Amino acid sequence: MTYTALARYRRLPAQEPTLRLIAFRLRHNWFCLPLAMARRVIPAADPTAPGLGLTQLHQENVPIMDVADRIYQSAPLLPGPDGAAPAQPHQPLRSILVVDSPRFGLLGLQIDDIPSLKRARQSAFSPVPTTYLVMNRLQGISTLVTLGEPEPPLFLLDIDALSL
């Protein structure tokens, strides 16, 4: 029995669409944005300084937002599995993720550490229950991205939903 290339092609399952993401840590959770929104990652000038300020990118002033403060709405850290607040062993290396927001234009997001690139299949996206968001006073997220066992879950951030 002979197989043609067309017959082999027809037997392959359809590829599930994937989305490229840029993932970053804010406090003790992981967040992500579509990679297409990201413009540049730059080191924070002073990691201990408050999140308000401006930076320049290609001779354009870019406002910097402490995005963790906006998401968590100044709420205390959520407790860990044993009921205690998560331990912070050292001061994280801070970075500025410059994104292009449809509502705000160029915006610098102050994030913890250096972001990483991820790929997520369409089936990895699921809604976050509204009750969870209300109980934990979270804003700017509505979708959870589950990549697999060794990877932590990611909250898909909606920059335009954050209040300024």
Strand partners, 55: 62
19 neighbors 34 (Cβ within 8 angstroms): yes
Q: Which pLDDT belongs to residue 104?
A: 82
Report which DSSP code applies to 102.
Answer: T
Largest CA distance in the chain: 71
Structure tokens at 158: 């909606």
Strand partners, 119: 20
Q: Which pLDDT belongs to residue 96?
A: 92
The C-alpha atoms of residue 93 and residue 137 are separated, in whole angstroms, by 26
Identify the segments of the chain with pLDDT beneath 70: 1-14, 46-52, 74-92, 163-164
DSSP SS3 for 118: strand
* Three-point CA angle 64, 109, 68, nearest 5°: 105
What are the tens digits of pLDDT across the range 121-160? 999 999 999 998 888 888 899 899 999 888 899 999 998 8
Question: 45: phi > 0 → left, psi -120 to 50 → alpha, else beta; which?
Answer: alpha
Q: Which pLDDT belongs to residue 14?
A: 66
The full set of domain ranges for the chain reads: 19-76+92-161
CA 30 to chain centre: 6
Q: Is the pTM of this model over 0.85?
A: no
Q: Which pLDDT belongs to residue 81?
A: 45
Q: Which pLDDT belongs to residue 46?
A: 62
Among 114, 106, 103, 101, which residue's Cα sits nearest to residue 47? 114
